[in-house]
Amino acid sequence: MLTKSEENYIKEIYALEQKHKADVNTNLLAEKIETKASSVTDMLKKLAKKELLIYQKYKGVKLNSKGEKIALSVIRKHRLWETFLVEKLDFSWDEVHKVAEQLEHIRSEKLTNKLDVYLNFPKVDPHGNPIPDVNGKLIIIDAVCLDQFEIEEEGIFIEVKDESENFLKYLTKNNIVIGAKIKVLEKEEFDNSFKIEIDRKQFNISENVIKNLYLKK
Amino acid sequence: MLTKSEENYIKEIYALEQKHKADVNTNLLAEKIETKASSVTDMLKKLAKKELLIYQKYKGVKLNSKGEKIALSVIRKHRLWETFLVEKLDFSWDEVHKVAEQLEHIRSEKLTNKLDVYLNFPKVDPHGNPIPDVNGKLIIIDAVCLDQFEIEEEGIFIEVKDESENFLKYLTKNNIVIGAKIKVLEKEEFDNSFKIEIDRKQFNISENVIKNLYLKK
DNA sequence: ATTAATTTTTAGACACATCTAAATTATAAA
DNA sequence: TTTATAATTTAGATGTGTCTAAAAATTAAT
Ligand SMILES: [Mn+2]
Ligand SMILES: [Mn+2]
Ligand SMILES: [Mn+2]
Ligand SMILES: [Mn+2]
């Protein structure tokens, strides 16, 4: 039986492993969890003792299959709840993440699976992130980061990585919503910003925005 | 910002006040919370310091209006979630209480109120207990405990107090479900058991069962 | 290959919620 | 009204998760 804190560490380690395709280091994890490096070290020792990850002093950390399974279970709950909030309770996509951070720790397999049925086995959440199924399997999203696009190339926006409220509100304001067709018009070398077109409107977006948008070519 | 533990104490104190119509004493509270009396004392001091209740050494405890408001908010969430689980996710009435004990601590007024809307402002939960509205107001259930019934008297079962899984399964097995018409046939003086009739079937129920059933005359 | 800078870990402390055992107060019995 | 019993509180300890400050290991720079 894991605590909420332990689940959050496991979930964050999983996310960082996916993002960096490498072992996770202490400082980065501390930043993400919003805690101090010393606290991270303590927790890693505990989780290593529980055999949920491989931890070697000064060498970073990596989930084992038991840890990965837990990560996927928490992510499954998080994304199912986000989907529920948007689809059934009429939340907007920028309001759901914080609430889901709480709901993801509710312990009831029956609840999770009944929610899945009720939502008709959704494959992705409101941010386009894949939802692990009851066995922890998730579909591969065939999406490419916008920073990989050439000038004049276009695609459909299907997944966003940053789920912070401010960022999602900014996207909404600029019609950058899931399903929108985005065309790259210009690239600025000096700051890596793009000029893009959506719905015949043209405007500039910064590198920070670009890196969080994933499109289907 | 209250902890889960603090919320549970507040909720339990409220329930005991309602049941006994008197100040709540330490040992009873300890039993209900499933902890030790010394832990209860510690917590009461803390909650008194936060000005959620009136506590005097050796004299018992009583919520003030701030504490009552919190109790009602937790109860509101608990009962809305139970209703959701039964109405939308197809849980049975004996499966929901434990899950609701977790869900009642989710912090989001928006979620609670949207859930209320989604369920169409239910007045009672699956056990017939009234659900406080957004202002903490709850309807008065016009129900009388079965132990107050005379021989040959009958009524409609509308509220159950004990929500333990085993008890509710026992009731279901014997067709004692919300809405059932129950008639008292005989009373046994020596053990306070009743012989009752439901759906033309007759059987005996113990005092323990009787005390938890509330009917509309 | 040393030295300097950065990262990570250890040591020691604290708040929270819990416990056991002992002391205190209230209540019931003689 | 004294004594015994029961209820309640206090004292001191533990486990969890966090922190700051200091020590140790790793990595980068000279
Ligand atoms: Mn999210
Ligand atoms: Mn999401
Ligand atoms: Mn309940
Ligand atoms: Mn209920």
CATH (domain of B204): 2.30.30.90
Q: Are residues A122 and A179 in the same domain?
A: no
Q: Return the percentage of chain B with pLDDT > 90, whole number.
A: 99
- Helical (H) or strand (E) element with B209: helix B207-210
- For residue A196, what are the CA distances in angstroms to A79, A180, A183, B184? 29, 12, 5, 77
Q: Which residues of B167-181 are buried (b: 16+ CB within 10 A; e: fewer)?
A: bbeebeebebeeebe
Q: Are residues A56 and A26 in the same domain?
A: yes
Please tell me the predicted confidence (pLDDT) of residue A210: 97
Q: Determine phi and psi for A122, rounding to 5 degrees.
A: -65, 145
Choose from B3, B102, B115, B118 for mutation: most chain A CBs within 10 A.
Answer: B102
Q: Are residues B208 and B148 in the same domain?
A: yes
Rounded to two decimals, the pTM is 0.96
pLDDT band (50, 70, 90) for residue A37: very high
Q: Determine phi and psi for A195, rounding to 5 degrees.
A: -105, 125
Q: Are residues A133 and A153 in the same domain?
A: no
Q: Are residues A125 and A74 in the same domain?
A: yes
Q: Return the percentage of chain A with pLDDT > 70, whole number.
A: 100
Q: Are residues A150 and A130 in the same domain?
A: no
User: A53: domain CATH number?
Assistant: 1.10.10.10
For residue A119, the chain B residue with the least C-alpha distance is B89
Q: Are residues B97 and B161 in the same domain?
A: no
A78 CA from centroid of ligand 3 (Å): 24
Which residue among B140, B167, B199 closes a domain? B140
Which residue among B122, B140, B158 closes a domain? B140
State yes or no: pLDDT of B1 exceeds 90.
Answer: no
Closest by Cα among A30, A32, A50 to A41: A30
Q: Are residues A131 and A79 in the same domain?
A: yes
Rounded distance in angstroms from the CA atom of residue A216 to the C1' atom of nucleotide C1: 52
SS3 percent helix, strand, coil of chain B, rounded to 5, is 45, 20, 40
Structural domains counted in chain A: 3
Count chain A–chain B contacts defined by CB atoms under 8 A: 39
Contacts of B130 (CB under 8 A, 6+ apart): B79, B123, B124, B138, B139, B140, B141
Closest by Cα among A29, A180, A154 to A93: A180
Give the nucleotide at minimum CA-to-C1' distance from B38. Answer: D9
Inspect the interface and report whether the beta carbons of B110 and A95 lie closer than 8 Å: yes
- Is residue B102 within 8 angstroms of chain A, CB to CB? yes
Cβ of B28: how many Cβ atoms within 10 Å?
17
At A95-151, the pLDDT tens digits run 999 999 999 999 999 999 999 999 999 999 999 999 999 999 999 999 999 999 999
At B36-78, the pLDDT tens digits run 999 999 999 999 999 999 999 999 999 999 999 999 999 999 9
Helix H segments across chain A? 4-20, 26-33, 37-49, 65-87, 96-103, 109-118, 165-173, 207-210
Q: Are residues A149 and A195 in the same domain?
A: yes
Q: Are residues B210 and B153 in the same domain?
A: yes
Q: Are residues A113 and A57 in the same domain?
A: no
Residue B80 and residue A89 in contact, taking contact as beta carbons nearer than 8 Å: no
Rounded distance in angstroms from the CA atom of residue A39 to the C1' atom of nucleotide C3: 30
- Average pLDDT on B5-32 reads 96
Q: Determine phi and psi for B160, rounding to 5 degrees.
A: -120, 140
- Rounded CA-CA distance A132/B9 in Å is 36
Which residue among A140, A174, A199 closes a domain? A140
**Does residue B213 approach strand D to less than 7 Å at its CB?**
no
Please tell me the predicted confidence (pLDDT) of residue A1: 85
pLDDT band (50, 70, 90) for residue B181: very high
User: What is the domain range of residue B93?
Assistant: 70-140
Nucleotides of C under 7 A from a protein CB: 7-12, 16-22, 25-26
pLDDT band (50, 70, 90) for residue A184: very high
A191-194 contacts at long range (C-beta below 8 A, 24 or more positions apart) = A192/A147, A194/A146
pLDDT band (50, 70, 90) for residue A75: very high
Inspect the interface and report whether the beta carbons of B85 and A111 lie closer than 8 Å: yes
- For residue A7, what are the CA distances in angstroms to A10, A58, A74, A149, B117? 5, 22, 7, 36, 31
- Average pLDDT on A3-23 reads 96
Q: Are residues B58 and B75 in the same domain?
A: no
- Rounded CA-CA distance B146/B157 in Å is 9
State yes or no: pLDDT of B209 exceeds 90.
Answer: yes
What residues does B42 pair with on adjacent strands?
Answer: none
